[in-house]
A = this chain, B = another copy of it.
Amino acid sequence: MLDICLLGCGGMMPLPYRRLTAMMARYNGHNILIDCGEGTQVAIKEKGWSFKSIDLICFTHYHADHISGLPGLLLTIGNAERTEPLTMAGPRGLERVVNALRVIAPELPFPIEFIEWNGPEQQIGRRGYRIEAFRVNHNVPCYGYNLIIDRAGKFDVEKARENQIPMKYWNSLQKGEVISLEDRTLTAEMVLGKPRKGLKVSYTTDTRPTESIVEHVRGADLFICEGMYGEPEKLAKAKEYRHMTFYEAARIGKEADVRQMWLTHYSPSLTKADLYMDGVRAIFPRVVPGKDLKSITLEFEEDE
């Protein structure tokens, strides 16, 4: 069970009726945050999710609307008495930017580990999540993210017997342990059927459409994607500032055949995303406009 909350849906600056775009995931008691604008901590508080359980904060890039809330959030995580290390990941420059911002949050009760992405894509595993970062196309280095929960195959008694696995190891192997015997090594694959479909949530913001985004988000259970402008005539502006219109975003979702898609990162000039949804759904019916605190719980598929 993977809980996702879109903490805000605005771009550029926080507004009285719209928080800045950021996303939080909750899985097995561990939380991941992507981006942290001014006010993101207030949205988390409003949602009621734990600050202390934030193990990883990923940044798409370092424009202020995606990181300005970090010093305040770090202090709030500290006040929630976290002492375990917290990992931050983002494009090159992360440590420099975070350390500069920490001029107003110098003392924290937890250590910070930094991971700076290099190249077109990279992945890490954390607390049951697999995180894929893939480069997108903005006017500064910027990455999109996949949060993936892999799901092993079912226990297969026949396979375990065929592989002559003593029954006393079945349980440990099913949990993923590796067991070294004198003559051979036992692994989970020897007792499990083929991996089942897991869960995948994709998040991209502050980018022009790219073929790489389509490839990376393919088949996502949920794709949260920027749509800076609803007005079709703002395409030129979208190109100039390296953003997307709703329609460009919808075409990515359609090509990538995602299960559902939420738009986010609206321009402050856009007052009602709903006004443009007919045109958007004509391209791809599975798109809905994101809203502050829009949330979903994604479940594994029932086994057949």
Contacts and interface: CB of A to CB of B under 8 A. Distances in A.
Interface in A24-63: 37-39, 41-42, 45-46, 62-63
A260 interface: no
Nearest to A51: B13
B104 A103 contact: no
Given A15-B42, A39-B42, A71-B64, A100 B103 contact: yes
Interface in A47-87: 62-65, 67-69, 71-72, 75-76, 79
A16 interface: yes
- Among A13, A38, A103, max chain B CB count under 10 A is at A38
A103 B64 CA distance: 9
A14 interface: yes
A72 B13 contact: yes
Nearest to A66: B104
Contacts of A105: 64
A152 interface: no
Contacts of A72: 13-14, 37-38, 64-65, 68
Interface string A14-26: 1110000000000
Interface residues of A, number: 31
A94 B39 CA distance: 23
A45 B68 contact: no
Contact of A42 (B16, B64, B104): B16
Given A16-B45, A39-B39, A68-B69, 9 more contacts: A13-B76, A37-B72, A38-B39, A38-B42, A67-B104, A68-B72, A68-B104, A97-B103, A100-B103
Interface of A: 12-16, 37-39, 41-42, 45-46, 62-65, 67-69, 71-72, 75-76, 79, 96-97, 100-101, 103-105
30 contacts: A13-B41, A13-B72, A13-B75, A13-B76, A13-B79, A14-B41, A14-B42, A15-B42, A15-B45, A16-B45, A37-B72, A38-B41, A38-B42, A38-B68, A39-B42, A62-B103, A62-B104, A64-B72, A64-B75, A64-B104, A64-B105, A67-B104, A68-B69, A68-B71, A96-B103, A97-B103, A100-B101, A100-B103, A101-B101, A101-B103
